[in-house]
Amino acid sequence: MAKTIAERADVVPLLGEVFREYGFDGASLAVIGERTGLGKGSLYHFFPGGKEEMAAAVLQEIEAWFEAEVYRPLREAPDPRAAIDGMIGAVDDYFRSGQRICLVGAFALDNVRDRFATAVKGYFAEWRAALASALERAGSAPDIARVLSEETVIAIQGALVLSRALDDTTVFSRSLETTRKRLAEATNPAAP
């Protein structure tokens, strides 16, 4: 049974998947309408700014999800080590174990990067900062925490690209497990 789209929030996840599959330029209004089940009139009712407003709404939804599930726990959880481990699990779930591309990363590499520069930059900067905060609270020196947080985001994003390029999700799984171990080693107190 098809899902009824009663409000704007109902269509945003569908738009995200359209943009993931077709990219911004390839996601024509005809394709968007076909995939969402909405005509142009309904799409413009929900998104008077057209496709650009649709993409902005998707990026806002991604940002809200990462804020709630990744960034805030990394910044605020009482146990930063558990929050770091939780980040790995959340990322694995969100990217469906390497089967789902990072739309923000795709936009960063696409010709639409400048249109959405604030959202793209904010996503990566906030992830690095939140993880560095957790690493510092877990005992890492600030300079080590900054480097490790950046390398972690690079490892995750790179694994997504390589998994997609090779059509092999085990690349993503292996990279996440290696990253999990590296972060655990970096945050475990030194043995006596």
Blockwise average pLDDT, block size 10, the chain, 192 residues: 71 96 95 94 94 97 98 98 97 96 93 92 97 97 96 98 96 97 86 42
Burial class for 158, CB neighbours closer than 10 Å (0-12, 13-18, 19+):
middle
Position 191 scores a pLDDT of: 40
Which of 68, 74, 105 lies closest to 87, judged by CA?
74
**For residue 96, what are the domain limits?**
8-187
Split into its structural domains, the chain has a count of: 1
Domain presence at residue 14: yes
Q: Is residue 1 one of the residues assigned to a domain?
A: no
Nearest one of 61, 187, 69, 70 to 127, comparing CA atoms: 70
At 189 the pLDDT is 66
Q: Which helix (H) or strand (E) holds 91?
A: helix 80-94
Q: Which two tokens stand for residue 123?
A: 């996503």
| 170 part of a folded domain | yes
Q: Return the pLDDT at 192.
A: 43
Asked if residue 3 is part of any domain, the answer here is: no
| Report field, pTM of the whole predicted structure over 0.85 | yes
The residue type at 115: R
Residue 140 lies in a domain: yes
On whether the CB atoms of residues 87 and 149 are closer than 8 A, the answer is: no
Write down the pLDDT at residue 144. 95
Q: Is residue 192 part of a domain?
A: no
Has residue 82 been placed in a domain? Answer: yes
- Residue 71 to residue 128: CA distance in whole angstroms: 9
CATH of the domain at 67: 1.10.357.10
Query: Rg of the chain over CA atoms, in angstroms?
Result: 18
pLDDT at 150: 98
Q: Is residue 2 part of a domain?
A: no
